[in-house]
Amino acid sequence: MALYSEVVMDHFMHPRNVGTIENADGIGEVGNAKCGDIMKIYLKSKTILSLT
């Protein structure tokens, strides 16, 4: 299907870094199930830098 580029389709058919991280340092969510697209990003860092 030429709807998406080869790179996009490759990641779609062979997903990388998919799953959840237990005790993540940060979780971000973008999108909305109502719109049919939703993504959740989990972050785990070795060192937590304080920005304050």
Q: Phi and psi (nearest 5°) for 7? A: -65, -45
Q: Are 21 and 42 in contact (CB under 8 A)?
A: yes
Residue 2 binds other proteins, judged by CB under 8 A: no
Report, in Å, the least distance between residue 43 CB and other proteins. 15
Write each residue from 19 to 38 as x if it is in contact with other proteins (CB under 8 A), else as -, in one continuous string.
xx--------x---xxxxxx
Sequence-ordered list of residues with C-beta below 8 angstroms from that of 40, at least 6 positions apart, any chain = 20, 27, 28, 29
Residues lying near other proteins in the complex (CB under 8 A) are found at: 1, 3-4, 9, 12-13, 15, 18-20, 29, 33-40
